[in-house]
Chain A
Amino acid sequence: MHIRGLFTKIWAYTGIIVVSVVIVFLFAFVFWKGGSTITWEFLSTPPAGLVLGSEGGILPAITGSLAFTLTAIVIGAVPAISTALYLVFFCKSRRMESMIHLVIQCIAGIPSIVLGLFSYSLFVRDLNFGRCILSSGIALGIMVLPFIEVRAEKTFRELNPAMIQSAYALGCNKTHTILTVVLPACRGELFSGIILGGCYAMGATAPMIFTGAVAFASNPTSLFEPAMALPLHLYLLVAQGHTSLDMAYGTAFVMMAVILISNVLVTMYARRRQREWKQ
C-alpha cells in the first residue's frame, strides 16, 4: 500500500476513535459522578444551605429553565417557520430569497453574548421590563430562530412535490394546501427541530446572565419576573468551589439526561418516518 494511503487510513480510524471516546467519556463521567446526587429530594426541593445551593435541590432551576425554553421556542419558532413557509411557497424573486438567507445566516452568526447585550439595552432598560423571563426569552428566541428556520426550510423543500401539485390540481389555494397538506405532513420534522432548538436554548447561559436568570428565585409564575436557570445555577455552584461540587454534578446530570433523552427520541422518530416513506 502506498504510504499516503496508509497515512489517510490511520488518520480516519484515529479520528473516529478519538471522537467516540470523547463522547462516551463526557456522558459517562457526568452520569457516574452525578448519579449518586440524584434523589427525589434533589429534584423536588429548592436550594438551601449556608452557601446557597450546597444543600437542598434544584426544583426552581428546573421550572425556571422550562419557562425560559418555552418562551424562547414560542418567540423563535413562529417567525422561523413562517419565514421558511414564505421562502418555499410564496417568495418569487431570487434576490429577495438570497437576501433573507443572508439575514438568517447573519443572525446565526451573532454571538449569543451579544444577543444578551441587545436584550439588556432594549428590553431590560429602555422598555423597562426589568430582568425577567420575557427579556431573556426574546434573546434566546432570536438565537434559536435560524436553527429552526434552516431545518423547517429543508423539510418543506424535501416534501414530495407530487403531493403539493395534487392539492393545487384539486383547486386548493396555497393557504389551504399549506394548512391541510404541508404542515401535517411535516409535523414530525418540525417538532424535532423545535425540540432540538429547545435543548439549545435550555443550555445557553450567555444571553440570560444579565437579562433574566438570577441566583435564587421561587418557581416562576409570570413572564415578568426573573427566574433561576439550570445552566446559570451550575455555573454559580462551580464558582462557589468545593462545598457545592456534588450538587454541581447533579445539576449537570439533569441537563445531560435531558439532552440525551430528547436526542434519542428525535432520532428514533426520524428513523420511523424514514421507514414509513420507504414502504
Chain B
Amino acid sequence: MRRITNIIFKIILCILTGVTLAALAFVIIFIVKEALPTFNDVSVHEFLFTNEWMPVEGIGSGARFGIFNFIAATVYVSFLAMLIAIVIGIGAALYLSCVATDRIRGIMYPFVDLLAGIPSVVYGFIGLTVIVRLFLKVGVHTGVCVLAAAILLAIMLLPYLISSCSETLLKNKEAYLRAGNALGVDAWYTISTVILPASWKNILTAMILAIGRAMGETMAVMMVIGNANLFPTLLGKSESIAAVIALEMGTAVNGSTHFHALYAAGLVLIVLLFIINVGINMIRNKLL
C-alpha cells in the first residue's frame, strides 16, 4: 500500500513538473504562431529596421509596420536605467556588505526588498506626480521623457541589484578583508582594489537579470515615457515595445495584420532579451 502511494505521489510530482515545462513551451509556441502571419504582409527587414508605424490604413497610404524606434527606445531606456541603478546599487551594496553590522543588515535587507514589492502602476503614478512635474518645472516640454522613465526604472531595478551585489561582495569581503587588515592596508583601500574587482563577474550576472526586468516592464514606463513613435533622445518622448502592445492590443482587430504585428513585437522583445543575455554572458566569459 505504502509503495503504491509512493508511486502515485511521484507520478503526480512528475506531471506537475511537466506542467511547468509545458507552460514555457506553450507560451513560446503561441507567440510564434500568432506572430508569423505578420510577415506575409511585411518583410522581416521592413518590420525591424523601418520606423513608420501606421497600423490602420490612412488616406492615400497603406498600413505600415516598422518597429525600429520601439526597439531602440526599449534598449535605450533599459540601459540608461541600468547605468543609473548600478551606480547607486553598488554603492548601497558596498555599505551593506562592508560597513553594516549583522543587525543593521537584518533590518536593511527587508527594507530594500520593499521596493521590489511596490506595484509598477504605483511607480508610474508617483513618476507622473513627482518626477514628471519636476521635469516640467525645469523646462522639459510636457515633462514626460525617456530620462523620467529611466529614473523610475532604475528605482525598480535597485532591489535586485543590491541583493545580488551585496551577496557577492559579502563573500569576497570575508575572504580578503582580514588578509588586507593583517598586511596593515586601510580597509577601504582593500575594498576598492581587491574586493570590488573580485566581484565584477557576479555583478555582471546580476546586471543581466536586471536588464531582463527592465525591458519587459510595461506600466511604469508607459505612463512616463510619452508614447510617441520617435527615436529616443534623453529628454524627448518615445515608446517602448511593451507599451505599444499594452496600448494597442485593445483596439487591434482580431486576425488583422495589426493584431499579428503586436505579437511579432512581443516575439522581438523575447529574442532581444535572449540576445542580450547571451551577449553579456560572452563578454563576461571573455573579459573576466
Q: Dominant SS at the B interface? A: helix
* Contact present for A100 and B216 (CB under 8 Å): no
Whether A256 pairs with B122 at a CB distance below 8 angstroms is yes
A262 and chain B: residue at smallest CB distance: B117
| Residues A174 and B6 in contact, CB atoms below 8 Å apart | yes
CA distance A116 to B27 in the complex (A): 10
A59 within 8 A of B: no
Q: Tell me whether A202 and B5 are in contact (CB under 8 A).
A: no
A-B contact pairs, 5 of them (CB 8 A): A8-B191, A82-B12, A120-B249, A173-B3, A238-B223
Contact bitstring B145-169, A, C-beta under 8 A = 1, else 0 = 0000000000100100010000000
The answer to whether A19 touches B162, judged by C-beta atoms less than 8 angstroms apart, is yes
Residues of B within 8 A of A78 (CB): 16
| One of B23, B26, B95, B270 near A16 (C-beta < 8 A) | B95
> CB-CB < 8 A to A231: which residues of B?
119-122, 219
**Chain A interface residue count, Cβ-Cβ cutoff 8 angstroms:** 87
Other-chain residue from B21, B94, B217, B249 in contact with A210 (beta carbon distance below 8 A): B249
With A15-B91, A203-B121, A204-B120 as known contacts, state yes or no: A263 contacts B114, CB within 8 Å: yes
With both beta carbons as reference points, the residue of chain A lying nearest to B122 in the complex is identified as: A252
Assuming the contacts A15-B90, A29-B130, A142-B23, asked whether A86 and B270 have C-beta atoms less than 8 A apart, the reply is: no
Query: What residues of chain B lie closer than 8 Å to A262, measured between beta carbons?
Result: 117
Say whether A90 faces chain B, with CB atoms less than 8 Å apart: yes
One of A38-46, A50-58, A105-113, A218-226 at the interface: A105-113
Majority secondary structure of chain A interface residues (helix, strand, loop or mixed) = helix
With contact pairs A196-B117, A205-B120 given, residues A145 and B20 touching in the complex (Cβ less than 8 Å): yes
| A/B pair count, beta carbons within 8 Å | 255
Could you tell me the distance between the alpha carbons of A8 and B93 in the complex, rounded to whole angstroms?
A: 11
Quick check: B21 and A22 within 8 Å, CB to CB? no
A121 and B20 within 8 A (CB): no
Residue A157 is within 8 A (CB to CB) of chain B in the complex: no
Complex partner residue of B246 from A20, A113, A196, CB under 8 angstroms: A113
Further contacts, 6 of them, CB under 8 A, given A15-B94, A203-B120: A4-B193, A12-B91, A26-B126, A29-B130, A116-B249, A231-B122
Tell me the smallest distance from the CB of A271 to a CB of chain B, in Å.
7
| Complex interface: chain A residues within 8 A of B128 (CB) | 238
Interface residue? A103 (CB, 8 A): yes
Least distance between B206 CB and chain A CB atoms (Å): 14
Contact of B254 among A26, A125, A142 (CB under 8 A): A125
Flag whether B225 is at the interface (Cβ < 8 A): no
Interchain CB contact under 8 A, A209 and B250? yes
Q: Does any Cβ of A come within 8 Å of B242's Cβ?
A: yes
